[in-house]
Structure 1
Amino acid sequence: MINLNNMLTTIHPKLPMRDKSVTKNYYLNMLGFSEFGGQDYEGYLMVEKDNIQIHFFEFRALDPKENYGQVYIRANEIESLYQAMLNNNVNIHPAGQLQRKAWGQKEFSLLDPDNNLLTFGEQL
């Protein structure tokens, strides 16, 4: 039998985007990510920050009201991260202000321009 333990190393979610330039601007200028990859691919974007990578694929017909893309990102020093987002005028999800959760996390959430939900959490 093949041992399948320790074969997975990381995950890079792929989320939909309607307009690459809008998504790129939001993640680079509002959230502090950097673009990576040696080539600019039409209809595809890759961004990274610290140890996090998020990939985006073009979906021009996306209705943001029907987009349920979600990513949960573990964070350190979440209070500082939250304050940095506020200082950069990032809109926090209306129900996603920084708060302690019953499941032992401190979390906040935001919606990107295509309604992808990003939740940031730190273990208490």
Structure 2
Amino acid sequence: MPGYGVIPALRFRDLEEAVRFYVDVLGFEIRRGDLAEGNISVRFGAAQLMLESAAAEFYGTAYNQAIRQRAGTAGPNALYIEAEQIDTLAQRAASAGARILDPLAERPWGQREFTVEDPAGNWLTFWKSLGGANGAT
């Protein structure tokens, strides 16, 4: 079995802005890649993401064109990312001026979470289990 689970690839019209947001605002770390390559792997705890330039020519012609057409369009999906220091992260994002769509709060399903929007409109919900019957991990 391979060593990776699902690694979402997020595409951006402005990759440099996206990398600054993920690294400086949210605290992700760069694992590999660089702006010149147009593809950067980042990690937050066990969560991994690929940040890609929507202008890159990585794939076949039709797929590259579809990526460029979809870049910057909003969707209703959110990535859920576990965060041990949820209060610190929420404060960090708010202090940096990130767009907080849903503020930090305890949820009836046993989690404390908040949702932030990245520069391309992707939603990221950071969460931490509250423990107990509903929040057991």
- TM-score strictly above 0.5: yes
Query: Who is 1:16 aligned against?
Result: 11
Q: Percent identity?
A: 29
Number of paired residues? 117
Where structure 2 has 5 or more consecutive residues not aligned to the other structure, the ranges are: 55-67, 131-137
Deviation at 1:101, TM superposition (A): 1.2
2:90 is paired with a residue whose SS is helix
Contact 1:17 1:62 in 2 (8 A): no
Query: Who is 2:96 aligned against?
Result: 88
Q: Give the whole-Å Cα distance in 1 for the aligned partners of 2:93 and 2:115.
A: 11
1:58 aligns with 2:66: no
Higher helix content, 1 or 2? 2
1:29-48 matched pairs, under 5 angstroms: 29-37=24-32, 42-48=37-43
Which residue, out of 116, 119, 122, partners 1:110? 116
**Equivalent AA in structure 1 for residue 38 of structure 2:** G
Higher strand content, 1 or 2? 2
Deviation at 1:46, TM superposition (A): 1.4
1:76 is paired with a residue whose SS is coil
Which residue, out of 74, 84, 94, partners 1:76? 84
**Equivalent AA in structure 2 for residue 44 of structure 1:** N
Deviation at 1:41, TM superposition (A): 6.1
Contact 1:69 1:115 in 2 (8 A): no
* Larger RCO, structure (CA 8 Å, separation 6 or more): 1
Judged with a 3 Å threshold, the aligned counterparts in structure 2 of structure 1 residues 17 and 68 are, in CA distance, closer, same or farther, namely: farther
**Equivalent AA in structure 1 for residue 31 of structure 2:** F
1:99 is paired with a residue whose SS is strand
Deviation at 1:73, TM superposition (A): 0.4
**Equivalent AA in structure 1 for residue 45 of structure 2:** D
Where structure 1 has 5 or more consecutive residues not aligned to the other structure, the ranges are: 1-5
1:12 is paired with a residue whose SS is coil
Q: Give the whole-Å Cα distance in 1 for the aligned partners of 2:14 and 2:75.
A: 14
1:96-124 deviation line (CA, Å, top 9, x unaligned):
10111121111100010111100001111
1:15-46 deviation line (CA, Å, top 9, x unaligned):
22222112112112222222222666633221
Task: Normalising by structure 1, report the TM-score.
Answer: 0.75
Judged with a 3 Å threshold, the aligned counterparts in structure 2 of structure 1 residues 39 and 66 are, in CA distance, closer, same or farther, namely: closer
